[in-house]
Copies of this chain bind each other. A is one copy, B any other.
Amino acid sequence: MKQLTVIKIGGNVIDNSEKLHQFLVDFTALPGDKILIHGGGKIATELGTSLGIEPKLVDGRRITDIETLRVVTMVYGGLINKNMVAQLQARGCNAIGLSGADGNVIKAVKRPVKEIDFGFVGDLDEHSVSVTTLDSLLKSNLIPVLCAITHDGDSQLLNTNADTIASAVAVAMSSVYETRLVYCFEKKGVLRDVEDETSLVAEIRSEDFVRLQTEGIVSGGMIPKLHNAFEAIRQGVKAVYIGKADELPQIDTQGFGTRLID
């Protein structure tokens, strides 16, 4: 089985042009088939503010109304995605920027209204990812660069969490590739002491996950992150890595961040 690396980068890299530059160099250098998924960063919020669109929050959760959807479609699908692709092309990486609507690669369902109406937000299921289309792009030597916009198949674009897209893509592609999923975030990985970057936990096996929670080494926002990672592994992903973007070049030598395996 061919190998595939699915990488998600977050806003902290996108918002910093030097970090982004370095990341795109490292991404280009990474051998083998790969797919990049990017989040949004501060640009969408700034553009919204310039246009007088206030960020809408209900119970601390962000709401995507129709104006916000327009803004994220412009910023994620246009500004960030096209500039990132142009930069990758300049470095010799044959990137192709996509929303979920393009080639129907990611089809989502508008989140049902329960206590909160999240607006134009898309949820994914096991049929969301078009493995055939992503595989045919990879076979044409194109590197898909996905933004966090999907569609419902009935003309509606939907704002969708980039972590969730990355995980769904990795799980779906596991049917035809030996797939690893890499999350780049602010920290070096899971730390025994959150203040101490040298206290990295290099590897976590699924059987250790409950114990690490009991010991308090995994806590707070890291719990759902790791829960989703182990869920992806349960569904066929070979390994999930969580670490810092600038350490990506080490992934095949010294290792990268925290490696989660079955």
User: Which residues of A are in contact with B by a Cβ distance under 8 Å?
Assistant: 47, 50-51, 70, 73-79, 81-83, 85-87, 89-90, 94-99, 101-104, 133, 136-137, 140, 142, 149, 151, 153-157
| Given A50-B51, A153-B90: A103 touches B96 (CB 8 Å cut-off) | yes
Please tell me if the beta carbons of A89 and B133 are within 8 angstroms of each other in the complex: no
Contacts of A83 in B (CB 8 A): 73, 155, 157
Most chain B CB within 10 A, of A50, A51, A81, is at A81
Q: How far is the CB of A68 from chain B (nearest CB, A)?
A: 13
Kindly provide the distance from the CB of A162 to the nearest chain B CB, expressed in whole angstroms: 16
Contact, CB under 8 Å: A155 / B87: yes
Q: How far is the CA of A94 from the CA of B97 in the complex (A)?
A: 16
A133 to B90, alpha carbons, bound, how many Å? 17
CB-nearest residue of chain B relative to A149?
Answer: B82
Known A74-B75, A95-B102, A96-B103; contact A86-B155, beta-carbon cutoff 8 A: yes
Given known A-B contacts A77-B77, A140-B140, A142-B133, A156 and B86 have beta carbons under 8 A apart? yes
Residues of B within 8 A of A87 (CB): 155
Look across to chain B and name the residue whose beta carbon is closest to the beta carbon of A103: B96
B136 and A86 contacting across the interface, CB-CB below 8 Å: no
Contact B73 A85 (CB under 8 A): no
Partner among B50, B51, B79, B153 whose Cβ is within 8 Å of the Cβ of A78: B79
CA distance A65 to B179 in the complex (A): 43
19 contacts between A and B (CB under 8 A): A47-B74, A70-B79, A73-B82, A73-B83, A78-B81, A82-B102, A83-B157, A86-B101, A86-B151, A86-B157, A89-B101, A90-B153, A94-B103, A95-B101, A96-B103, A97-B99, A133-B140, A136-B140, A137-B140
Q: Enumerate the 8 nearest inter-chain pairs by beta-carbon distance, A residue then B residue, closest first.
A: A78-B78, A74-B74, A77-B78, A74-B78, A90-B155, A86-B101, A86-B151, A136-B140
Closest to A21 in B: B155
Q: A79-B78, A82-B149 are in contact. Are A97 and B102 (CB under 8 A)?
A: yes
